[in-house]
Structure 1
């Protein structure tokens, strides 16, 4: 299918899903029932996900939900971010946006504050304000090549001066069974956009469908299979690689369904949740931090080539510490951080340097994701 046909098919199918529940799009998910209690039943019934990325939301997060649909995950996340956080949903389908916004006011009353917003946009082009573009086109329809050029100029100006989602404004990007719906030609840009809008140290939690074999063209050209979250599925290895290539660290599968959701032409399609972190970019220094790899392997190596032998308190810079303890690596390490911020100057220790037990006594020890970083 052409890129245009992909989006037409997806919009048509999910517009229908906003009007009437589509059982073929439903993948069994064990959501947190305590969060669902506050949601209108219509939003629950007309949700089409394959995982629960809301489980990765923390208090104070600024969350972006890609392909937010009827708003289910947004309203779940809003209960977790608290008064200091916010949730933004982006979707391209008018009917889904209407469903999500239908309950925005009563949900704000339930939550004790209006911390959820929904925007019309394309997740592969998060700077483009589609609603603003439609207003422009209503006033200045495109009927010739000159009009096309004017529209292109307007789009570039809008992206630059008033992007739908600005650079480095989100601390967590989530999505639930949507990335597979994006045309293959747009996927590199889509993941680059996720990287752009995240703050340094920001996290990704993407629930989606992957395939255990490359999907053949015959299946990709089937509109029903593509819009049904099947034939557009990433290959299980390529999905991870795409985030690594975009510059993310700590890229891992945190959830993997043992049983496939569907098997088509002998190919297994299953639900996974991918997590990743955008590296810190602030000035790095020696803050007296250390990490200890718990095992079970003799040693592990991170994306930068740093090696962590099992059971050794390895000296790391403040940024490396933040990245390790705020990513998919966190549960594999014990972190040692000084009680008070220290700056011992540039981190100049040689590869393989350790910190002694004496040097790390009395530090704050952490054995799971702790947030923070540079």
Structure 2
């Protein structure tokens, strides 16, 4: 599948997640459970609109970003706005929190959440994170949460180049993502539902180190948090029992016609092959 088709599938998957906030599959306990498992404080989650937390995080980049008042923070793949809104609180009215996302439904949801939260220092831009329409040296800090793995492998270097370009001198990056512990089996790599679910597109640690170095970053620290990624199984089990949920898209039908693995998703032990890593 080429990059264009990959992006289309990712957009459809996450557009479905955004639309569910008004649909029959209401957000709630599962989303809070996922966010708590990956390092968010309940107090922080309760301080922003509930629909900002869509249960698709794999970490909490803000926990290591050391964001200060007056800074400019850019979130790559901002989704419903959870990290942008929390960052907006940290930078105060003297600073800015900017979310970048390629999915219109997500942007609509995030902007509504920002309005509901009264976060006038938060804004959102429609763009691919490989090419962001902002001037160089804009950000003090760049964050991202479980998004870089969704970029096609041939374009991942562009993401890190954009990070480096957008950072002010002395700026920093704080990113949570899923990385492969070893070479993924071909049946996982070809499973489109696992790709849009952030597993099949995971790169290995050595690849990330190379991306960072080639982009110009020095002294990057990449750490395995040892988080349990099997928490995502609950979501797929609920979908199987209650009907199509946020991962429902054209990719599901394409996947069924190719590998047929989607019905076996709950039997995959994600922790054997992948882990949640943070790098800064």
TM-score (norm 2): 0.77
| Aligned counterpart, 2:60 | 52
The Cα of 1:265 is off from its aligned counterpart by 8.3
Contact 2:101 2:128 in 1 (8 A): yes
SS of aligned partner of 1:229: coil
Aligned position for 1:38: 47
The C-alpha deviation readout for 1:71-108, integer Å capped at 9, x for no partner, is 01100111111222110000011111111111222322
Displacement after TM superposition at 1:268 (Å): 2.2
2 CA distance for matches of 1:184 and 1:237? 14
Misfit runs of 4+, over 3 Å: 21-24, 262-267
Q: CA contact under 8 A between 2:97 and 2:123: conserved in structure 1?
A: yes
**Alpha-carbon distance between aligned partners in 1 of 2:45 and 2:226, rounded to the nearest angstrom:** 25
- Deviations 1:305-363 (Å, cap 9, x if unpaired)? xxxxxxxxxxxxxxxxxxxxxxxxxxxxxxxxxxxxxxxxxxxxxxxxxxxxxxxxxxx
Q: Alpha carbons of 1:12 and 1:81: their partners in 2 closer, same or farther (altered >3 Å)? A: same
Q: CA deviation at 1:197?
A: 0.7
Aligned with residue 258 of structure 1, among 226, 233, 246: 226
Once residues 266 and 94 of structure 1 are traced to their aligned partners in structure 2, the CA distance between those partners, rounded to angstroms, is 32
Residue matched to 1:270: 275
Gap regions ≥5 residues in structure 1: 127-163, 276-374
CA contact (8 A) 1:15 1:96 kept: yes
Distance 1:223 1:62 in 2: 35
Partner of 2:95: 85
Task: Show the 5 A alignment for 1:274-285.
Answer: 274-275=279-280
More relative contact order, 1 or 2 (CA 8 Å, 6+ apart): 2
Going by fraction, where is strand more abundant, 1 or 2?
1
Using the TM superposition, give the Cα deviation of residue 185 of structure 1 relative to its aligned residue in structure 2, in angstroms: 1.1
**In 1, distance between residues paired with 2:70 and 2:192?**
40
Q: In structure 1, what is the Cα distance between the partners aligned to 2:164 and 2:189? A: 27
Closer, same or farther: CA 77–265 of 1 in aligned 2, 3 Å: closer
2:194 matches 1:189:
no
Of 17, 22, 38, the residue aligned with 1:29 is 38
Aligned residues: 232
**Cα RMSD (Å):** 2.2
Partner SS for 1:251: coil
Q: Which residue of 1 aligns with 2:11?
A: 11
The structure whose Rg is larger is: 1
Deviations 1:241-265 (A, max 9, x none): 3212211012002x52225514658
Partner of 2:198: helix, strand, or coil? coil
Partner of 1:104: 114
Distance in 2 separating the partners of 1:246 and 1:236: 16
Aligned 1:1-374 pairs, distance under 5 A: 1-20=1-20, 28-44=37-53, 46-55=54-63, 56=65, 57-108=67-118, 114-126=120-132, 164-253=133-222, 255-262=223-230, 264=269, 267-275=272-280
**Unaligned ranges ≥5, structure 2:** 231-267
Higher helix share: 2
3-state SS of the aligned residue for 2:142?
A: strand
Normalising by the residue count of structure 1, what TM-score does the alignment of the two structures yield? Answer: 0.58
Counterpart Cα distance in 2 of 1:264 and 1:186:
28
CA contact (8 A) 2:75 2:144 kept: yes
Measure the CA separation in 1 of the matches of 2:275 and 2:143. 18
Give the 3-state SS of the residue equivalent to 1:54 in structure 2. Answer: helix
Q: Offset at 1:199? A: 0.7
Alpha-carbon contact 1:213-1:267 (below 8 Å) kept = no
Mapped to 2, the partners of 1:19 and 1:6 lie a distance apart of 20
